[in-house]
Amino acid sequence: MTDEGSKSTTFSLLAKVGELMSLPAAYLFFAGFLYAYYYFSELGLPTRLVEIPLPFYPVYAFSVFMENWVLVVAWILAVGLLALLATKRAPWATAGLLFLFLVAFPGSWWMARERGHRQAVLLRNGLEGRRVTFSFKQHAHGEPAGSKREAKSASDAPKRVTEQLMEANAEGKLVLVAETTRAFYVLWQIYPDREVKELPRARLFMVPRDAVSGAEVKLDSVINVRNRRKDDS
């Protein structure tokens, strides 16, 4: 009887923990999805084309909440205080808890939208993102897929767009936005003169994987900390 009682107590405790975790999980997926939606929308890419796995949404939400950690900590403390008062049968504590949970949804929406917009602006300013250079597959006539000659006969790829893609790729100006099982999505941001504060319109290209034989991602230089520590010692 003692073992059965302890098992039932354990299961009930786990059930309560599961119920408590279901609401934060809903907030995580809600904020993560909204962040991805606004971030890719700012870059001209529909979210449905990115093929984001479901486990990625809580990761996106973590960056959203960490950027606004002061508000998140204040909300958690307020919820904890009201929950404690509700256990002591304070008549207004339950209503306060309900209000905080309702406010959390528009609050998460606002934080995710601002974070997505800001992250897209950082990428367009060259402060985020990875530059990528493609090696296109060669056709029988010796020109890469998507070259100027192919653009003349391709009905679904205007010549001007194809030439811009090849030019930006040759100059190393393409920034990787997203990649899927079928394509790479890259951004070409034309930077204005120093006197102009606003960025002009950028261009987003879809590069099919079957047209690429290789891709080079350029990373920023960093200090070799391990060798530097050896030299200092």
Residue 79: the pLDDT is 83
Task: Report the percentage of the chain scoring pLDDT > 90.
Answer: 24
Residue 153: the pLDDT is 46
Residue 154: the pLDDT is 45
Round to whole Å and give the CA distance between 174 and 177. Answer: 9
Q: Residue 151: which pLDDT band, with cuts at 50, 70 and 90?
A: very low
Residues 5-59: pLDDT tens digits? 555 555 554 555 455 567 778 888 999 999 999 999 999 898 888 888 888 898 8
Residue 67: C-alpha distances to residues 62, 114, 189, 233 (Å): 9, 10, 26, 37
Average pLDDT over residues 97-120: 91
Q: Which residue has the higher pLDDT, 166 or 6?
A: 166
Round to whole Å and give the CA distance between 68 and 90. Answer: 30
Residue 37: the pLDDT is 94
Q: Residue 198: which pLDDT band, with cuts at 50, 70 and 90?
A: confident
| Total Cβ atoms within 10 A of residue 120 | 23
Average pLDDT over residues 179-202: 82
Residue 51: the pLDDT is 85
Residue 230: the pLDDT is 55
Average pLDDT over residues 142-167: 60
Q: Residue 145: which pLDDT band, with cuts at 50, 70 and 90?
A: low
CA 58 distance to own-chain centroid = 10
Residues 62-105: pLDDT tens digits? 989 998 889 989 988 888 888 788 777 777 888 888 888 888 88
Q: Which alpha helices (DSSP H) does the chain contain, by range?
A: 2-42, 56-67, 69-87, 93-124, 148-153, 159-170, 225-232
Average predicted confidence (pLDDT) for the chain: 79
